[in-house]
Amino acid sequence: MKRTAMFLAAAALLTTAAFASNYPPDYLNQSAVALANGPAVLAEVNTVTSGQKYVIAYKKTGALAGKADHVNAYVRVTYRLIPFNGGYSAPMTAEKQFKLQPEWNGTGYISGEISQYTSYGTDGLLFLPSQALTYNKLEIEKIELAFNVNGQWDSNYGSNYTISMNTLYRAGERFKSSYTSQNIAVDTWNFIVGLMRK
């Protein structure tokens, strides 16, 4: 009986603390923002529990769609490492290639989830040594996309499909997931696929 009373008291204390924090009950749920530029789609997903994730897609209306069983996406990221002490940071660029596979619903081609950065592997938009983020904050300014299939290019007439982060945050379509997850949730994927249909 004593143990049951102690358990109930502890549960009541934890519940009170959660409500006292003033956070909404879904504050750990994923949120996403996505934007299309021509056939190119870029989505940024805030998983809260494991940081920012990205998805790159190529719509079925693109000139390269249907020409192969996949589309190669070439990505150029312009970013800054802003020192925590407030010092100056020059813009830097990083380039990466991702293989986009056919999207199951026939809306085009899509990547898997891409981490914002990696310090050890190849799954991120950027490779950053771990010590770089000890003293600096990462700020992505823009992402440029071009697409290739068997030597044929769709690169917006050589100028790339460019999405600045300011434009993404200001004009992108927004979504709030019903789930808390370290990986991109199913309803978030459905939101991105819905944008590919437009």
**SS3 for 73?**
strand
CA-CA distance, 18 to 24, in Å (whole number)? 10
On whether residue 115 sits in a domain, the answer given is yes
Give the pLDDT score at 122: 78
On whether residue 15 sits in a domain, the answer given is no
Structure tokens at 72: 């190669």
Q: What is the pLDDT along the chain (198 residues), one digit of tens a residue?
A: 444 444 444 444 434 444 446 788 888 999 999 999 999 999 999 999 899 999 999 999 999 999 999 999 999 999 999 999 988 899 999 999 999 999 999 999 999 999 999 998 778 999 999 899 999 999 999 999 999 999 999 999 999 999 999 999 999 999 999 999 999 999 999 999 999 999
Give the pLDDT score at 21: 61
What predicted TM-score, i.e. pTM, was given to this entire model? 0.87
Bridge partner residues of 54 (DSSP): 44, 114
On whether residue 120 sits in a domain, the answer given is yes
On whether residue 9 sits in a domain, the answer given is no
On whether residue 55 sits in a domain, the answer given is yes
| Parent domain of 115 | 29-197
On whether residue 52 sits in a domain, the answer given is yes
Give the DSSP letter of residue 103: P
On whether residue 23 sits in a domain, the answer given is no
Number of domains in the chain: 1
Give the DSSP letter of residue 30: -
Residues in the chain: 198
Helices (H), 127-185: 132-135, 165-171
Q: Please state the three-class secondary structure of 173-189 as a single string.
A: EEEECCCCCCCCCHHHH
